[in-house]
Structure 1
Amino acid sequence: MIKDTSAQDAVIVPKRNKLKLVLVSAAVLITLAISAEAILTSDTAAKSVERASVQIATVERGDLTRDIAATGRIVAANAPQVYSPEEGLVTLLVRAGDKVSKGQAVARVESPQLQNQLQQERSELARLEGELSRKRLDARRQTLLLNKQLDLANVELTAAERESRRAKASIKTNIISQIDFEKAEDELARAKLNVNHAEQEVALAKDTLAFEVQSAHNTVARQQLVVDELERKVGNLTVTASVEGVVGNLFVTGRSLVTPNQPLMTLVDLTAYEAEINVAESFANELGLGMDVELQIGRQTVMGTLSAISPEVTEREVTTRVRFDQNSLSQIRQNQQVTARILLENRSDIVKVRRGSFLQAGGYVAYKLEGQIASRIPIETGATSMREVEIMAGVQPGDQIIISSYQSFEQAESILLR
């Protein structure tokens, strides 16, 4: 006897449940595969990372140029400042940004005190020149009088000599007495003495007069120097440009009172440029004059020479100047930004690798790649450049190492790259 139809019933599984069962089975299989791989590699890899998340480079042999990366700007090699020559009111004849030529007037200082002093000294010079002329006239007059006295003494000497000859002839014939003869001889001796003294007085007087004239001439010459100096100062009240270029910064305003040697403005010589490069303090001891520098100015690359190194450190940087040939450059501008490579030294035939963040670990460890396993190995680094680093020990040319950061590796001895 059949009680019911339960023996004939069959359970029908929905299609959605079948799909869910397939997906669950696939996930289990994938999990088992990963677990099996982890079990197989657990003896060789302590950590697993994505291969795409690291950078790998091949060690090679070649030449390395050790350099320093730096930034800077284009500056004028010659940018002199203009100073006030004297105290007074300044009138600016140019504005900031104006083009100026060499010798062009850029400012004028009004100094009434200096102008008045110049007029006084010129008047004193005219007085001294008149005094010199008077001295010369007095010297000529005194010389004339002395020459007259000398001539009169010579006339008396001639007369005394004639009387002496007459007395000598007369004494032989007893025409005159002995007393008259001796008197004639005394007159001759007196005339000779007068001539001798007159000659000495004339010579001494001429020397005295010449000395007085020369002294007056020296006084005039000294006063002329004073006038020349004041004229120079007055001429400098018109300030001129020392270079050809443009007006930079103005340090004063028009019709302001300025003091001697006070800066008025800066002139920028646009015919000669240099690069001002800021180098990190840590490289200061390696810099030297004459080093080659590769400059990147816009899209142009030019070689230069290190021409100056600042003796002080400012904000942990050392300022240097690079001189370069700008004839081949176009559209170069003041304060234009540049990047530079200072070439320190060239090393030939060394083992090197591309530079990367792995140097942050100290440069004494690296992860060498063998298949999918990267093993931690000790290395020794040497010279570094902007793009490459020298490997002195630990790897050989052809080896591959990870050059990206090791921070996520947590100092694991081996890494699985999946």
Structure 2
Amino acid sequence: MTRNDDNKAKRATKRNLSRWIKRVLLALVGLGLLALIVVAWLPKPVVVETAVSEKGKLVVTVDEDGRSRVKDRYVISAPLTGNVARIELRPGDTVQQGQVLARLVPLTAPLLDARSKKEAQARVAASEAARRQAKAQIERAEAALEYSKKQAKQTRELVAKGVVAETESDRANLEERSRQAELTSAQFGAKVAAHELSMAQAALGAFSAPGKGGDQMNVPSPVAGRVLKVIQESEGVVQAGAPLVEVGDPAALEIVVDVLTSDAVRIQSGAHVLLERWGGDTLHGRVRLVEPSAFTRVSALGVEEQRVNAVIDLDEPYAKWKALMDGYRVEAKIIVWQGADVVKLPSSALFRRGEGWAVFVVRGDQAAVAPVKTGHDNGLEVEILEGISPGDRVIVHPSDRVADGVRVAYR
């Protein structure tokens, strides 16, 4: 083979190699374009918001607006028909038991007819019966308080020995405080009954010994407290029984919250209550009772609702809530259930699936449907009894684009 032949062979080899390189490059470019087309046509992952299930405290409350109310209040009324002098007292003034609140000049004797005399006699009889009833209530309240004190003492001893839980001691202490409040209220009622009797007797005395027209009768306060309202401020003629002044003790407040009857059945006596948005720091209280009789109220939407009052005692010293007065608005959160170590999820993660509930769990980069069994729900979080473990990541607010097996990407 000559030298020229060798050169020709080399040039031919180079040309063949160049052709193969071009073909390979073209093939790679084609594969790349094909891959780009495939990727472009593949469904993109759905961007979702997620939350991680965890163990923690869950509190279920009944949230309603309420108002403060003086526990024991009394409306001082005119014992008989006459001319009342101008009342100089103002709301907020302090009054002592027996202090004169109003001065009344009875009408002259000719106007005191037989019918009025019989009415006065009936008021005396009714007042005597009320005083006897008040005395019986005091005796009953004293017996209940003595029993609750013994129970509280025994419970504290059992707690110290570790026989019963601390919550039992709290419940016994609450019972003792409630019985003490009942005794105080009964004593207040006895004072009021005695005052009613004295006023009724004084009115009847005007018939027995009417004297001269213009004799003045003093109307005293049956209890110590503060003036809540002056009903008859100006001088003028009033009828027997007409309200004059309202007296009470603002330091003895209770909170009244009207709740739906469907919620009331879950509220237990002694339930813990948080009182917020009254103008100061959050206050703590306890449910004393749920009244036995409900009433109908029309909601803002025009729907008739059956509601009942829950009465709450404050568990705070007076200095902490002294700015809270009679008739003030509060927001009450009545705790009906709480758990300290429960598996929970945001309520927004759940959706209906058949007759039950389910969530979307993120497994890898896909969404998977997981049926769950739920427990208590406070509107924001829900207790999970089965189907989810602590640490599982779930999708919250799932859209209609999320389905079982769909690729997802979470923030």
Name the residue aligned to 1:305. Answer: 286
- What secondary structure, in the 3-state scheme, does the structure 2 residue paired with 1:260 have? coil
- Relative distance call for 1:229 and 1:260 in structure 2 (3 A) is closer
- What secondary structure, in the 3-state scheme, does the structure 2 residue paired with 1:307 have? strand
C-alpha displacement of 1:323? 0.5
C-alpha displacement of 1:248? 3.0
C-alpha displacement of 1:381? 1.4
In the alignment, which of 42, 54, 58 is matched to residue 60 of structure 1?
54
Q: Does structure 2 conserve the Cα–Cα contact (< 8 Å) formed by 1:86 and 1:237? A: no
In the alignment, which of 391, 401, 414 is matched to residue 394 of structure 2?
401
Name the residue aligned to 1:83. Answer: 77
Q: C-alpha offsets along residues 208-260 of structure 1, whole Å, 9 cap, x if unaligned? A: xxxxxxxxxxxxxxxxxx89951699999532334444433444452333323
- CA distance in 2: counterparts of 1:358 and 1:333, whole angstroms: 40
Q: Could you list the runs of 5+ residues in structure 2 that have no partner in the other structure?
A: 1-31, 118-200, 298-304
Task: Supply the AA of the counterpart residue of 1:312.
Answer: A
- CA distance in 2: counterparts of 1:415 and 1:264, whole angstroms: 76
Q: TM-score scaled to structure 1, two decimals?
A: 0.53
C-alpha displacement of 1:382? 0.9
- Relative distance call for 1:89 and 1:385 in structure 2 (3 A) is same
In the alignment, which of 315, 329, 336 is matched to residue 325 of structure 1?
315
- Relative distance call for 1:365 and 1:265 in structure 2 (3 A) is farther
Name the residue aligned to 1:238. Answer: 218
- CA distance in 2: counterparts of 1:33 and 1:323, whole angstroms: 72
Q: Identity across aligned pairs (percent)?
A: 23
Structure 2 residue 346 is the aligned partner of structure 1 residue 365: no
- CA distance in 2: counterparts of 1:304 and 1:70, whole angstroms: 14
C-alpha displacement of 1:306? 0.5
Structure 2 residue 330 is the aligned partner of structure 1 residue 338: yes
Name the residue aligned to 1:134. Answer: none
Q: C-alpha offsets along residues 84-140 of structure 1, whole Å, 9 cap, x if unaligned? A: 22222333423542403123222233222469979xx9xxxxxxxxxxxxxxxxxxx
C-alpha displacement of 1:305? 1.2
Q: Does structure 2 conserve the Cα–Cα contact (< 8 Å) formed by 1:273 and 1:326? A: no
C-alpha displacement of 1:283? 0.6
- CA distance in 1: counterparts of 2:37 and 2:224, whole angstroms: 77
Q: TM-score scaled to structure 2, two decimals?
A: 0.54
C-alpha displacement of 1:320? 1.7
Name the residue aligned to 2:251. Answer: 271
- What secondary structure, in the 3-state scheme, does the structure 2 residue paired with 1:364 have? strand
- Relative distance call for 1:402 and 1:299 in structure 2 (3 A) is farther
C-alpha displacement of 1:365? 2.6
Name the residue aligned to 1:39. Answer: 42
Q: Does structure 1 conserve the Cα–Cα contact (< 8 Å) formed by 2:112 and 2:207? A: no
Q: C-alpha offsets along residues 270-325 of structure 1, whole Å, 9 cap, x if unaligned? A: 22122222334431211222222233354523332101323213433433221013
C-alpha displacement of 1:329? 0.8
In the alignment, which of 248, 265, 274 is matched to residue 285 of structure 1?
265
- What secondary structure, in the 3-state scheme, does the structure 2 residue paired with 1:374 have? strand
Aligned pairs, number:
271
- What secondary structure, in the 3-state scheme, does the structure 2 residue paired with 1:85 have? coil
Name the residue aligned to 1:347. Answer: 339
**Structural RMSD (CA):** 4.1
Structure 2 residue 91 is the aligned partner of structure 1 residue 97: yes
C-alpha displacement of 1:34? 10
Q: Does structure 1 conserve the Cα–Cα contact (< 8 Å) formed by 2:79 and 2:203? A: no
- CA distance in 2: counterparts of 1:371 and 1:90, whole angstroms: 85
Q: C-alpha offsets along residues 125-169 of structure 1, whole Å, 9 cap, x if unaligned? A: xxxxxxxxxxxxxxxxxxxxxxxxxxxxxxxxxxxxxxxxxxxxx
- What secondary structure, in the 3-state scheme, does the structure 2 residue paired with 1:283 have? helix
- CA distance in 2: counterparts of 1:330 and 1:63, whole angstroms: 28
- What secondary structure, in the 3-state scheme, does the structure 1 residue paired with 2:263 have? helix
- What secondary structure, in the 3-state scheme, does the structure 2 residue paired with 1:36 have? helix
In the alignment, which of 61, 74, 83 is matched to residue 68 of structure 2?
74
